[in-house]
Amino acid sequence: MTFRTETTLTGYARAAIAMKTRMHDFCTSTAGVEYTRAFVETLFANFPEPDPHGEAAPDQNVAEVINRASGTVWAQGEAYVLAPAMTAIVAAAAEALDLTGDLLTADAAPTDGGVLFLPEPIYHRNLNGQVSGIAAITWATVSSPSGRSWLICGWADRDDPEDPHAARIRGYTQQDPTLRSRLGPYVMTNLDMLPIAAPVPAVEHPDDLEPDRDWETAPDGRYVIADATARTHVCAAIAYAFWRIQAQPISIAAPAPLDRPARRRAARASIVHDTRVVMLRRTSALTEPGDGNARWHYRVRFVVRGHWRRLIDKHGQA
């Protein structure tokens, strides 16, 4: 059961519970722990070797935090499904977002921990030119000596036939046939942090990007956000844009009904089964003069602020 085959609220709810259950089982398994440790090790690949007689390596500490947070949020976090009609709105808001220096309060997110499913993924292009689909985002609050933060993880659909990252996984399985069985239905591809009650740090862009780099393409018609031009880390920007938009009058978070067998399975697995589908809110129908057909009109207001964007042409010139 996947979101690619579902189009109804009930179907979204069933798919959300099935994915949460499978991902909780994966994150708490030995294979999930090993994958998280390997993923985090790549983030600290350029750090100096720690003192063998001193504290634990930073990647080990981070991996343990991610394992605990991921296992908890997939089981206990509330599930949100972003309707395909809302995907472009959230993606456009995330691409233009610049949180540098902002102070975010703890109530910026609708819940302390949650899971956002994107049946129509938003694609992310990293600084190496590789593209990965973001089919799910999780967030959870964590504490550290520097204060509280949101731990935001981006996940790609392992079996998405259109996702370049899934295609890379299929290539790896030809070399290691056991790889697929050691992965969950979603694969972690991004890890971001957003501080709470502390200024959001600026995103540093390297100056040695090659303008003629062979960028990997995304599926036609899909929204792509690139690290090279993003002013806020991509997954954090998508999560924050979703938090704000789902609370606006233009959207509605409709509770998705779940059939009794699915509720009982979720209860036996100790999985929170509340699911909300975030979609465009319809206002009352208005009839145009001389035309008897009812047409929908959106009448809302947003509080916005000006912002700067750094654009680069095809020759790499700012």
* Nearest Cα to Cα of residue 28 among 65, 77, 71, 87: 71
* Dist. CA 313–CA 236, nearest whole Å: 25
Q: Does 119 have pLDDT greater than 90? A: yes
Q: Does 210 have pLDDT greater than 80? A: no
Contact 135, 121 (CB under 8 A): yes
Q: Does 7 have pLDDT greater than 80? A: yes
Q: Does 317 have pLDDT greater than 70? A: yes
Contact 196, 148 (CB under 8 A): yes
- Model pLDDT, residue 68: 87
Say which range, 38-47, 126-135, 259-268, has the weakest mean pLDDT: 38-47
* Dist. CA 103–CA 196, nearest whole Å: 7
- Model pLDDT, residue 55: 47
The predicted model gives 203-207 an average pLDDT of 77
- Model pLDDT, residue 206: 72
β partners of residue 224: 123
Say which range, 55-59, 235-239, 302-306, has the weakest mean pLDDT: 55-59
- Model pLDDT, residue 51: 47
Supply the mean pLDDT for the chain.
84
The predicted model gives 79-91 an average pLDDT of 92
* Dist. CA 250–CA 273, nearest whole Å: 25
Q: Does 59 have pLDDT greater than 70? A: no
What are the φ and ψ backbone dihedral angles of 86, each rounded to 5 degrees?
-95, -10
* HEC readout, the chain: CCHHHCCCHHHHHHHHHHHHHHHHHHHCCHHHHHHHHHHHHHHCCCCCCCCCCCCCCHHHHHHHHHHHHHHHHHHHCEEEEECHHHHHHHHHHHHHCCCCCCECCHHHCCCCEEEEEEEEEEEEECCCCCEEEEEEEEEEEEEECCEEEEEEEEEEECCCCCCHHHHHHHHHHHHCCCCHHHCCCEEEEEEEEEECCCECCCCCCCCCCCCCCCCCCCCCCCCEEECCCCCCCHHHHHHHHHHHHHCCCCEEEEECCCCHHHHHHHHHCCCCCCEEEEEECCCCCEECCCCCCEECCCCCCCCCCCCCCCCCCCCCCC
Instruction: Give the residue with greater pLDDT, 259 vs 303.
Output: 259
Q: Does 295 have pLDDT greater than 70? A: no
* Dist. CA 218–CA 130, nearest whole Å: 9
Contact 224, 93 (CB under 8 A): no
Quickly state the pLDDT bin for 209 (edges 50, 70, 90).
low
- Model pLDDT, residue 219: 80
Identity of the highest mean pLDDT range in 46-50, 142-146, 236-240: 236-240
Residues sharing a CB contact under 8 Å with residue 230, sequence separation 6 or more, in sequence order: 95, 203, 237
Q: Does 238 have pLDDT greater than 60? A: yes
Query: Model confidence over 268-294: pLDDT tens digits?
Result: 888 988 899 998 876 544 444 455 554
